[in-house]
Structures are given as structure tokens and as C-alpha cells.
């Protein structure tokens, strides 16, 4: 837990955000362009706020299959490690609430509001300002003690707490995350074209995935961890102690064909409480169809695709058709 001055100068951050939006790098994430300066000026969101408390919570699940081994097996589905357990929003929010209750137990009632990816809050920037870590060239927050496999949460408060100092940047001359990115979405240090990012393409994008990018997605069906897997600082990442983040339904090491055969009811029941459920069944099938298009050709893969060639969803049908064409070349 670290503390930043809620009135700290964010003018350079505002300029960078504005330039990023002007280039259209946010794609369909319209919410990034909404809210004006509320995102960078906490007092416009919570009047009277004096401090931003930033917290982080490790999410690497114990006993999860090693990421590269799944990525290198074209018949398997890779799911970003933050998403193989239960949704983090409730867990982190409950922890922040507990922190607020502890503080009020010590000093009496105080004003606060907690956030977990739930409002226009520049969470990486506040974490950086408070010294929780530095922004890596992949744009995620990095910590020398914990790498980057953690969630961030914030508390805005009117408590005049002492402010922590930022830490230095320790990326040095490393460019591993930029070099490894399958779609070259990190167009330069600290610059992400989200429209090319596999996390955006598989989670945020609602419609058709651009054809040129589909072969580059490989078997990543929900998010992408390559830039984190390759980062040397993640040798310091800690295994989570949080039972809710443990792997559920074998999602760390599961076959594409098996996932593609899930009915809508299975999708809803098996992924109840999972962050994956928010993308919906149609988008889920779309993503797996791309993975199957990139999988080694086999009767099982082709049969699985053919079984969905008349899917009621035009989006799914289009991606299945593309996938079948990949096996017809
Ligand atoms: S891979 Fe290298 S450049 Fe990228 S965030 Fe990690 S240390 Fe920084």
C-alpha cells in the first residue's frame, strides 16, 4: 500500500492520454475517451479528496501450468493467468473495504471511495506516483518485489496522510516485451496501440477480429501474457495466497476442442464468477474459432469447427468459416 497526493501535477499524463486518444489507439474502448479530466483529476470525481491510496494484490495461481508450455501447444487454449480463477473485482473491493474499516476502527469515520477498475481512474499512473512501482515499457506497472502479475486497486480519501516517493524505472535497455509482442502492439517504449493488442482483440473488441491479426493470435483465447512472461522482473512475482484466484475448471491447461464443445449452459455455469463470462458466449466461441484456425490440422479440430459451421451467430459462423479455410490451404 502506498500513498500519492491527489492534487499532484498530472499535466504530462493528460497530454499523453490526449495524444493516445487522438491517434485512435483506444479502438472501440469509448469509455477511455469519456469523463474528460475526471480520469486524471481525482477531485473532479470525488470532491474533497486529498490522497490516493494504491494497493496491489498478487494473482499468480498456485500450481498453474507454465504459460509458455501451453502457448507452444497449438491444440491447447491459452487464457491469461489473471483470468483462470474467480473475478478479481469483488475480491479486491472487499479487501479495500476491509482496509477502510480498519482505518475507521482506529481513527473514527472518514471519507473515502474505493475503486477496482470500476471508474475513470488512472490506476497505473497513481500507483507509479505513489511508488508502488514503475511503468514498464509494456505500459503495465512493474515492481522490483513482485514483477507485474498483480491487480491494482485504489482508495480516494480526504485523510491528509504522508505521501510516498515514486521509485525509479528499472527497464534499462531491455526491450523484450516490445520484441515478443505477437502483433507488435507495443509500437515503442510505453506506447501501446490497443487495437493490435491481443487482450483488446479477445476481450474488449465486440465484433469481427481483423483477419490480418487472426494468425498472429495463435491459441490465445482470452487475453495475452507474452509481454509479462518474457519480462525478467517476473522472476520476482509472488504466488497468490488468495483462494479465489486458484485455477478453476482446468482453465490453465485445456484443449481448444474441449472448450469449443461447451454449450451455452456450460459456459454460463462453469464460468460463473469468472471474469471471462463478461465477454459472453458468442465472443468466447469467436475467440476459440480463431485458435482452432491456428491449430495444427487434425480430424478432431476440423470436426469441432464443422459442428459449429451453422451456428446461429453470424459472428461465430464467419470466424468458423475463416478457421476452416486455414485447414484447407
Ligand atoms: S520486458 Fe524489459 S522493457 Fe519490458 S517491462 Fe519488462 S523490463 Fe521493462
> pTM for the whole thing?
0.95
pLDDT digits (tens, 9 = 90+) for 19-41: 999 999 999 998 888 888 888 89
- Grid coordinates standing for 68? 509458455
**Does ligand 1 come within 6 angstroms of the Cβ of 136?**
yes
Decide if 117 is catalytic. yes
Asked if 137 and 177 count as a contact pair (C-beta separation under 8 A), the reply is: yes
Give strand pairing partners of 154. 54, 115
Helix H or strand E encompassing 4: strand 2-5
**Does ligand 1 come within 6 angstroms of the Cβ of 232?**
yes
Ligand 1: atom nearest CA of 180 is: 1
Percent of the chain with pLDDT over 70: 100
Residues 6+ apart with CB under 8 A from 27: 194, 195, 200, 204, 205
Asked if pLDDT for residue 125 goes beyond 90, the answer is yes
Asked if pLDDT for residue 329 goes beyond 80, the answer is no
Residue 214 is predicted with a pLDDT of 98
pLDDT digits (tens, 9 = 90+) for 62-111: 989 999 999 999 999 999 999 999 999 999 999 999 999 999 999 999 99
Residue of 141, 142, 226, 231 best suited for mutating to test ligand 1, as the one with most atoms within 8 Å of CB? 231
**Does ligand 1 come within 6 angstroms of the Cβ of 188?**
no
**Does ligand 1 come within 6 angstroms of the Cβ of 111?**
no
Work out the mean pLDDT of the chain and round it to a whole number: 96
Domain regions of the chain by residue span: 1-63+87-167+238-246
Amino acid at each position: 500500500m502506498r500513498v500519492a497526493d491527489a492534487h499532484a501535477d498530472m499535466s504530462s499524463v493528460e497530454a499523453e492520454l490526449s495524444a493516445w486518444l487522438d491517434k485512435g489507439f483506444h479502438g472501440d474502448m469509448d469509455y477511455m475517451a469519456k469523463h474528460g479530466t475526471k480520469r486524471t483529476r481525482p477531485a473532479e470525481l470525488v470532491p474533497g479528496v486529498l490522497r490516493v491510496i494504491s494497493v496491489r494484490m498478487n494473482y499468480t495461481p498456485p500450481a498453474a501450468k507454465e504459460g509458455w508450455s501451453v502457448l507452444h501447444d497449438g491444440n491447447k487454449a491459452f487464457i491469461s493467468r489473471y483470468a483462470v480463477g474467480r473475478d478479481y473485482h469483488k475480491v479486491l473491493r472487499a479487501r479495500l473495504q476491509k482496509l477502510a474499516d480498519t482505518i475507521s476502527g482506529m481513527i473514527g469515520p472518514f471519507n473515502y471511495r474505493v475503486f477496482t477498475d470500476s471508474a475513470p481512474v488512472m490506476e497505473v499512473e497513481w500507483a507509479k506516483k505513489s511508488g508502488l512501482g514503475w511503468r514498464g515499457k509494456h505500459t503495465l506497472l512493474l515492481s522490483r518485489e513482485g514483477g507485474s502479475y498483480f491487480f491494482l486497486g485504489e482508495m480516494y480519501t480526504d485523510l491528509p496522510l504522508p505521501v510516498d516517493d515514486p521509485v525509479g524505472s528499472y527497464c534499462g535497455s531491455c526491450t523484450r516485451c516490445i520484441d515478443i509482442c505477437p502483433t507488435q502492439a507495443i509500437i515503442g517504449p510505453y506506447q501501446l496501440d490497443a487495437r493490435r493488442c491481443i487482450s483488446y482483440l479477445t476481450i474488449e473488441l465486440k465484433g469481427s477480429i481483423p483477419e490480418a491479426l487472426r494468425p498472429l493470435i495463435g491459441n490465445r483465447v482470452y487475453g495475452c501474457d507474452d509481454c509479462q512472461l518474457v519480462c525478467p522482473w517476473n522472476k520476482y512475482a509472488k504466488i497468490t495466497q488468495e483462494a479465489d484466484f486458484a485455477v478453476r475448471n482446468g482453465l490453465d491447461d485445456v484443449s481448444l476442442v474441449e472448450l469449443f464443445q461447451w454449450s451455452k449452459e456450460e459456459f454460463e455455469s462453469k464460468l460463473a464468477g469468472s471474469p471471462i463470462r463478461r465477454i459472453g458466449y458468442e465472443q468466447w466461441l469467436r475467440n476459440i474459432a480463431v485458435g482452432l484456425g491456428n491449430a495444427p490440422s487434425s480430424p478432431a479440430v476440423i470436426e469441432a469447427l464443422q459442428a459449429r459451421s451453422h451456428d446461429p451467430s453470424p459472428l461465430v459462423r464467419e470466424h468458423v468459416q475463416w478457421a476452416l479455410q486455414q485447414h484447407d490451404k
